Amino acid sequence: MRCSNPLAIKLGIRTPEEVLAAGSKVACHTFVFEKTGPIRVGSAAARIARAHAAARDLGVNIHPRHLADPSSPKQLHRAAYDAYLRLKAAAEADGIPPNLLVIVSGYRSIRSQQSLWENALNRYRDPNIARRWVAPPGGSPHHTGRAIDFSLGTRNDSSNIPALRSTVAYKWLVCNAERFGFTPYRNEPWHWEFNPPGFPTSTGPSVPAAPPRPTPIPSRSPAHLPVYAPPARRQEPSSSPAEIPIVGLPGFSPPEEKALRITTMFETGRPLNFGGLTGNFDNQGLSFGLLQWNIGTGSLQPLLREFATRFPGKVQAIFGPDAPRFFDILQPHRSLPEQMQFARSINDASQRNVVEPWRTYFARLAADPDFRQIQLRHVRWLMDVAKTFARRLGLRSERGLALMLDNVTQNGAGWLKPNRAALIQQRKAEQERQTGRPLTERQFLAVIANVVADTVNPRWSEDVRRRRMMIVNGTGVVHETPMDLARQFGLTDQPWETIPGVPSWSAPAPGTMQYPRPLSATRLRAP
Same domain for 401 and 364, yes or no, is no
Question: 176-204 b/e with 16+ CB inside 10 Å = b?
Answer: bbbbbbbbbbbbbbbbbbbbbeebeebee
Is 145 domain-assigned?
yes
What are the start-end ranges of the E strands in 108-242?
147-150, 182-185, 188-194
Q: What is the pLDDT of residue 251?
A: 87
Mean pLDDT of the region 127-132: 70
Q: 330-357: per-residue pLDDT in tens?
A: 887 889 999 999 999 999 999 999 999 9
- pLDDT-derived band of residue 189, with 50, 70 and 90 as boundaries? very high
Instruction: Find the range with the poorest average confidence among 28-37, 263-272, 428-437, 441-450.
Output: 28-37
- Backbone phi, then psi, for 263, in 5-degree steps? -65, -40
> How deeply is 436 buried, as exposed, middle or buried, from its count of CB atoms within 10 A (0-12, 13-18, 19+)?
exposed
Q: Is residue 172 part of a domain?
A: yes
The average pLDDT across 197-222 equals: 37
Helix (H) or strand (E) holding 478: strand 475-478
Whole-Å CA distances, 477 to 163, 449, 453, 468: 55, 16, 16, 11
- Please check whether residues 348 and 427 belong to one and the same domain: no
Question: Same domain, yes or no, for 259 and 164?
Answer: no
Same domain, residue pair 41 and 89: yes
**Inside any domain, residue 497:** no
Q: What is the pLDDT of residues 139-154, one digit of tens each?
A: 678 888 899 999 999 9
Same domain, 156 and 239: no
Q: Is 154 helix (H, G, I), strand (E, B) or coil?
A: coil
Query: Which residue type does 135 have?
Result: A
Helix (H, G, I), strand (E, B) or coil at 450: helix
513-526: b (≥16 Cβ within 10 Å) or e: beeebebbeebbee
Residues 180 and 249 grouped into a single domain: no
Query: Mean per-residue pLDDT for 157-166?
Result: 90
Last residue of a domain, one of 373, 393, 414: 373
pLDDT band at 522 (very low <50, low <70, confident <90, very high): very low
Same domain flag for 408 and 350:
no
User: What is the rounded average pLDDT of the residues 303-321?
Assistant: 94
b/e map 374-408, b = 16+ CB within 10 Å = bbbbbbbbbbbbbbbbbbbbbbbbbbbbbbbbbbb
State which of 352, 373, 394 marks the end of a domain.
373
Look at residue 267 and tell me whether its pLDDT is greater than 60: yes
The reply to whether 505 falls in a domain is: no
Residue 521 belongs to some domain of the structure: no
> Are 177 and 53 within one domain?
yes
Q: Do both 335 and 389 map to the same domain? A: no
pLDDT tens for each residue of 398-453 = 999 999 999 999 888 889 999 999 999 999 999 999 999 999 999 999 999 999 99
Question: Is the per-residue pLDDT at 217 higher than 50?
Answer: no
CATH of the domain at 105: 3.30.1380.10
One-letter amino acid for residue 76 of the chain: L
Residues 298 and 443 in one domain: no
Dist CA 366 CA 381 (whole Å) = 20
Nearest Cα residue to 94 out of 406, 385, 489, 435: 385
User: Does the residue 301 lie in any domain?
Assistant: yes
Q: Please, is 500 exposed, middle or buried when counting C-beta atoms within 10 Å of its C-beta (0-12, 13-18, 19+)?
A: exposed
Q: For residue 28, what pLDDT is reported?
A: 56
Number of domains in the chain: 3
Is this structure's pTM higher than 0.85?
A: no
For residue 215, the cross-strand partners are: 60
Strands 182-185 and 147-150: unpaired
Nearest to 343 by CA among 283, 268, 293, 276: 283
Domain-embedded: residue 473: yes
Residue range(s) defining the domain that contains residue 471: 377-489
Note whether residue 410 is domain-resident: yes
- Rg of the chain (C-alpha set): 24
Q: Which residue has the higher pLDDT, 230 or 348?
A: 348
Q: Are residues 419 and 473 in the same domain?
A: yes
Q: Give yes or no: residues 20 and 129 share one domain.
A: yes
Split at pLDDT 50, 70, 90, the class of 109 is confident
Q: What is the DSSP string of 32-98?
A: EEE--S---HHHHHHHHHHHHHHGGGSEEEPPGGGBSSTTS--EEEHHHHHHHHHHHHHHHHTT--T
